[in-house]
Structure 1
Amino acid sequence: MLPTELLMFRVNEGIADPRRLKPTTTNLKLAETLIALYASHVGKQRAELNEEVRALEAGRADFRVLRGLSHLLGQRGEFEAGGNLAPPAVREKVFALAQSHPPSRQRTTDILEQAARALSTETPLTSAEVSAALYADLPDQQTLIAFDPLEPLELIQRFDLAQAQGMLYRAYQLVITARRNEPARYKQLLRYLKLFGLMVTVEGDADYGFTLTMDGPTSLFSGTTRYGLAMAKFLPALLHVTKWDLSAALKPRRDLAWVDPKDEEWSYQVTSEDGYVSHYKAPEEHDSALESGFAERFAKLETPWILEREVDLVPVPGGVILPDFRLVDGERSVLMEIVGYWRPEYLKKKFALLKKSGRTDLIVCVSERLNLEKAGVDPSEFGERVIWFKGVLDPKAVLAVAERIAVKN
């Protein structure tokens, strides 16, 4: 992401609009130049690299764009103190030798030579090497030891997304409407919500869309942007869901002279149609061999039933469940959850949420290999909707239950 000082946006009637770069020849050339610059500085100090970047900025009206692109490339570099000496150990030795004598040019040379002799192991050190190591761990003295480049277009896409993420730094509420997706990516969405500590309320259904509301920390943490940063980190995960709209309520920035002091709130709007590109890894089609194996076996059957992948979020008190599959036959449908190999704590929570859902159109497939007694759960309360299996889940058994419990959409 980008630091606040590199964010570029405008506000029109309370609507915040981040800066985006068009993939013009000029912008692509700038991106290419910066990428080549970073690649050519592997093995050199950060100070040299920063000096070259400042030279590129000279006389440019778009210097903040250049700085933003450079900042993103810097995040793809690995910097560390150069040489084989540990700077803290070198400083400790040199400062100890210098304590009892007044400074002078000759005395400094003598101290460095003494430190070199003291710090030498198998290979003798020179005073110049000791001098270079003294502050080698300071940021501008660190050496770029590795760099993972991007293509110019990828860098521009990353810049655009970083500007969009920056709009969420000051967000205190995020509302996402996720319409029915095929295939859906809701499970990854929920994982990232948990990863970044976002509190979410889910409402709606598959036909009219799900509304996910994330309330930020305004009332809890007042001036902090910690929760907004979590929302910003979450945005690239949302991009893997194919149909959605996002609306964020933002706290206006008071540090900008052009901000209308009467503004009490800004709004930021973005949708799946806006063309942002995620750099997060796309989720696998199936989360386990159990699910992928079942889908493969189902595909070989001759049946009017259609198997859909993760298309329902089911709101329940205290959480949300995301069934693995939906089976559809015309106007009839059932949901399906496969409970495979999991820890007792997970099983306890899983069955508690399934029970709270109150759904009578949900088939629960349970592996006989699970230690349900240790988890303290009893699937028998789901009655005829429970299917027990050992190593392989038979799709014919699932279809038999689906025929009995399916409901009209």
Structure 2
Amino acid sequence: MFRVKAGLVAPRRLKAHTNNLRLAESVIQLFEANLGKRRADLEEDLKALEAGRADFKVIRGMAHLLANGAATFEAGGDVEPGAVRAKVFELAQAHPPSRHRRADVLEQAAAALSGERRLSAEDLGDLLYADLPDQQRLTAFDPPDPPELLERFNLAQAQGMLYRAYSLVITARRNEPARYKQLLKYTKLFGLMVTVEGDADYGFTLTMDGPTSLFGGTTRYGLAMAKFLPALLHVTKWDLTATLKPRKDLAWVDPGDDEWRFELTSEDGYVSHYKPPEEHDSALESGFSDRFGKLGSPWTLEREVDLVPVPGGVIVPDFRLVHPSGRSVLVEIVGYWRPEYLRKKFELLRKSGRGDVIVCVSERLNLERAGVDPSDFGERLVWFKGVLPPKDVLAVAERMMGGEAAA
């Protein structure tokens, strides 16, 4: 549900006023009332709730979100429906069909399939097609609060705008590494093709090709973009612009519209249902931050860092050390052991050409086995054993800054 004005698409959003909250509560209560019942029974109740209402699409949207995100549907009973059908069909083939024969076949099949719990013919009749979607039963329901359902509905409307996108451009500004890393993790998880460029002063631009440019109009890539949006919401400062193909199947669409735009920012108030990333990726980083805070150093340790675009990837440093003069250096902690990770990490560090990155490497890593030699980082290399001493890192930072840092 959306509107278009001057080529700019705006999805419908529900405000948290009394009527919308009551409607959300009604849909939630309807699901709760159908616990243990078939999906078909639930759908009949939903149709009754929709009847005569102008906002029936809102009800359907809320129900879809609850059915796919908060409800569990399963085939009921102690016997697998496929086994029930096999036995019933086997017995039925031995006798000509008749109105009364059905009950006899079900009784015989119930006797044959009964275990510790005695099955009746009626039980078996319910189990016969219990694995079909409309016959599955609502076995569990973890309801959100009505305001949460409204937030999820609004986000789903925004996600729907990306289904027909053929380009997506995100400008992300300085953020915590964990949030950047979650963002990049989701681009890989959903198979999105992304290029990163830019700098801290003007923002980092993540460009993704959309479904219509890549796959001739399929929404598969658009669905991946839609799933990616909740991860973007955890990044604190960003702008998004998507270019969409107009819906030519809609009668009210201007035939002259060749493209629409969908714009979104971190200030628009959408709420993610994805789990937020941890502040630190590891106990190693957390411990370093805690120990640094106890030093009383004039340097400032910042969690908010820049993306470092490099050919073939991007680096997200773990920390920034800022001198009182305003100059700074970046800190990258390499404590993960997988050979593929180590090779990729050092390859990107070299490609970046950045001379302001302190590289901290655990002596426990088998770099020789991974085919990695970090010696070319020279004085910017810090080796550590169990924990990373902040004083060692500060010493390197001060040498990099020269006499200004020492002062």
- Taking structure 2 as the reference length, the TM-score comes to 0.95
**What residue is the counterpart of 2:51 in the other structure?**
58
Cα distance in 1 between the residues matched to 2:91 and 2:170: 63
**What residue is the counterpart of 2:160 in the other structure?**
166
Structure 1 position 100, deviation (Å)? 4.4
**What residue is the counterpart of 1:290 in the other structure?**
284
Secondary structure (helix, strand or coil) at the match of 2:100 reads: helix
- Taking structure 1 as the reference length, the TM-score comes to 0.95
Secondary structure (helix, strand or coil) at the match of 1:105 reads: coil
Structure 1 position 37, deviation (Å)? 1.7
Mapping for residues 17-56 of structure 1, pairs under 5 Å: 17-56=10-49
**What residue is the counterpart of 1:196 in the other structure?**
190
Amino acid in structure 2 at the alignment position of 1:48: D
Cα distance in 1 between the residues matched to 2:20 and 2:118: 50
Mapping for residues 3-402 of structure 1, pairs under 5 Å: 8-75=1-68, 76-181=70-175, 185-329=179-323, 330-402=325-397
Amino acid in structure 1 at the alignment position of 2:372: V
Amino acid in structure 1 at the alignment position of 2:40: A
Q: Please say if residues 183 and 308 of structure 1, whose CA atoms lie closer than 8 Å, have aligned partners that are also in contact.
A: no
Cα distance in 2 between the residues matched to 1:148 and 1:321: 39
Out of 375, 400, 403, the position equivalent to 2:398 is: 403
Cα distance in 1 between the residues matched to 2:59 and 2:213: 37
Structure 1 position 264, deviation (Å)? 2.0
Q: Please say if residues 184 and 311 of structure 1, whose CA atoms lie closer than 8 Å, have aligned partners that are also in contact.
A: no
Secondary structure (helix, strand or coil) at the match of 1:173 reads: strand
Structure 1 position 303, deviation (Å)? 1.7
Cα distance in 2 between the residues matched to 1:384 and 1:406: 12
Cα distance in 1 between the residues matched to 2:254 and 2:167: 21
Amino acid in structure 1 at the alignment position of 2:280: H
Q: Please say if residues 173 and 306 of structure 2, whose CA atoms lie closer than 8 Å, have aligned partners that are also in contact.
A: no
Cα distance in 1 between the residues matched to 2:123 and 2:84: 10
| Structure 2: gaps (5+ residues) | none
Cα RMSD of the aligned pairs, angstroms, is 1.6
Cα distance in 2 between the residues matched to 1:133 and 1:182: 53
Amino acid in structure 1 at the alignment position of 2:179: R
Question: How many residues in Structure 1 have an aligned counterpart in Structure 2?
Answer: 401
| Structure 1: gaps (5+ residues) | 1-7
| Of 145-154 and 127-136, the range deviating more from structure 2 | 127-136
Structure 1 position 310, deviation (Å)? 4.2
Amino acid in structure 2 at the alignment position of 1:56: L
Q: Please say if residues 341 and 369 of structure 1, whose CA atoms lie closer than 8 Å, have aligned partners that are also in contact.
A: no
Q: Please say if residues 39 and 134 of structure 2, whose CA atoms lie closer than 8 Å, have aligned partners that are also in contact.
A: yes
Q: Please say if residues 165 and 210 of structure 2, whose CA atoms lie closer than 8 Å, have aligned partners that are also in contact.
A: yes
Call closer, same or farther: CA 1:350–1:183 in 2, change over 3 Å: closer
Structure 1 position 122, deviation (Å)? 3.2
Structure 1 position 230, deviation (Å)? 0.6
After the TM superposition, which segments of 4 or more aligned residues of structure 1 sit over 4 Å from their partners? none
Q: Please say if residues 155 and 270 of structure 2, whose CA atoms lie closer than 8 Å, have aligned partners that are also in contact.
A: yes
Q: Please say if residues 186 and 310 of structure 1, whose CA atoms lie closer than 8 Å, have aligned partners that are also in contact.
A: no
Call closer, same or farther: CA 1:90–1:164 in 2, change over 3 Å: same
Q: Please say if residues 170 and 228 of structure 1, whose CA atoms lie closer than 8 Å, have aligned partners that are also in contact.
A: yes
Q: Please say if residues 9 and 17 of structure 1, whose CA atoms lie closer than 8 Å, have aligned partners that are also in contact.
A: yes
Structure 1 position 192, deviation (Å)? 1.0
Structure 1 position 101, deviation (Å)? 3.6
Secondary structure (helix, strand or coil) at the match of 2:24 reads: helix
Structure 1 position 85, deviation (Å)? 1.8
Secondary structure (helix, strand or coil) at the match of 2:116 reads: coil
Secondary structure (helix, strand or coil) at the match of 1:108 reads: helix
Cα distance in 2 between the residues matched to 1:93 and 1:183: 59
| Of 387-396 and 259-268, the range deviating more from structure 2 | 259-268
Cα distance in 2 between the residues matched to 1:398 and 1:9: 53
Q: Please say if residues 210 and 313 of structure 1, whose CA atoms lie closer than 8 Å, have aligned partners that are also in contact.
A: yes
Amino acid in structure 1 at the alignment position of 2:164: R
Secondary structure (helix, strand or coil) at the match of 2:272 reads: coil
Structure 1 position 200, deviation (Å)? 1.0
Cα distance in 2 between the residues matched to 1:79 and 1:221: 34
Cα distance in 2 between the residues matched to 1:362 and 1:267: 38
Cα distance in 2 between the residues matched to 1:22 and 1:385: 53
Amino acid in structure 2 at the alignment position of 1:395: P
Amino acid in structure 2 at the alignment position of 1:271: T
User: Cα deviations across residues 226-283 of structure 1 (Å, max 9, x unaligned)?
Assistant: 1111110010011111111000011222332222233222211010111000011111
Cα distance in 1 between the residues matched to 2:212 and 2:248: 16
Structure 1 position 307, deviation (Å)? 0.6
User: Cα deviations across residues 118-168 of structure 1 (Å, max 9, x unaligned)?
Assistant: 222333321111111111111121111100110110000000000000101
Structure 1 position 376, deviation (Å)? 0.3
